[in-house]
Structure 1
């Protein structure tokens, strides 16, 4: 039996029960949780671990405009989506169910735009979720890897690296009030290193991109496809950027708005 993991952004048990009943009638098992808006404590990571442990086939987010207007909610959902796709495949089905009209994609953070956005009023939504559970889509993975690890005690660690080839050093920056990098490391992928040796480490660089200023740290270590750069970040950055290290200032950066 295929499993749908429901994340209810609002504390609305009747809505959850209604969706659970419909999905079960369509032969799907249903598990889930109510969203905890504590992004700095990485509450979303607990939900992700539970989703993976349940061997869910679809992540269904019961969304509404009021909750999605909160930057911390958008931020947590963005990180959960990125980490889920990195761990379970970029074609893993993510579905947003909207009470009213679904928003235009360009009003959402980039990591949430390629989810399937459905509206409750559309009677075809159960069939679409059944299809996603049984035939997950295929999505081309980006050239980079992006994961977020840690917990309330360890802190929030962004993990990035190339999917193939090598990077000759890494620059990583954050933007947004209260967001700051306070540690960096390089080590094997998929796990925080116990020790690290950094080459030509730099801190506190200022990068201007349009009207947004980023504070960046950097290292010159080579990072291959089996290795990662790790940055411990305090707060909830509104956006991040990363790129191969460059002294000329003309490197091509990946920029992701998170909230």
Structure 2
């Protein structure tokens, strides 16, 4: 059986790389092939596109995990970049990509997220079983949401 390929978009950046390594290690125990990239918050340079290449290719990524702290999930520029990224990858993939959110040290409710992420399962790193719950969700068969439109971002 081939490992599912999981991509982590890590919002806090390189200064907290040890947390990213810990998350990747936990997911690796469950049989995921984990890769990651640090999020750069720069809308003017369209920095969110740095994550698009790997996410839009089904051969490179099966699952997308977004991990971050409260400050990042509250910042409008990060929320905007993540939203545009999510909305732009599915038309390019020609398929749905399961997306999950992992919060660090705080509870996030779906209503606190941008509209593009309101249906995304949210896990908290303070729950010792978050990785097992993510695995269960990742292997669950579910209906792919039908969107009335899709758009390409160049």
Matching of residue 67 in structure 1 with residue 54 in structure 2: no
Conserved 8 A contact 1:64-1:99:
yes
**3-state SS of the aligned residue for 1:40?**
coil
Q: Which runs of 4+ in 1 moved over 4 A?
A: none
1:17 maps to 21
Matching of residue 46 in structure 1 with residue 50 in structure 2: yes
Superposed CA deviations along residues 112-170 of structure 1, whole A, max 9, x for unmatched, are 21111111122222123223443453222111123322xxxxxxxxxxxxxxxxxxxxx
CA distance in structure 2 between the partners assigned to 1:136 and 1:35 by the alignment? 29
CA distance in structure 2 between the partners assigned to 1:100 and 1:13 by the alignment? 16
Q: Which has the higher contact order (CA 8 A, sep 6+)?
A: 2
Conserved 8 A contact 1:44-1:76:
yes
Number of corresponding residues: 149
Conserved 8 A contact 1:90-1:141:
no
Q: Which entry has the higher C-alpha Rg, 1 or 2?
A: 1
Conserved 8 A contact 1:93-1:137:
no
**Aligned pair in 2 of structure 1 residues 61, 136: CA closer, same or farther (>3 Å)?**
farther
Give the alignment's TM-score, normalised by structure 1. 0.53
2:136 maps to 131
CA distance in structure 2 between the partners assigned to 1:106 and 1:24 by the alignment? 30
CA distance in structure 2 between the partners assigned to 1:148 and 1:69 by the alignment? 24
Higher helix content, 1 or 2: 2
CA distance in structure 2 between the partners assigned to 1:52 and 1:86 by the alignment? 8
2:5 maps to 3
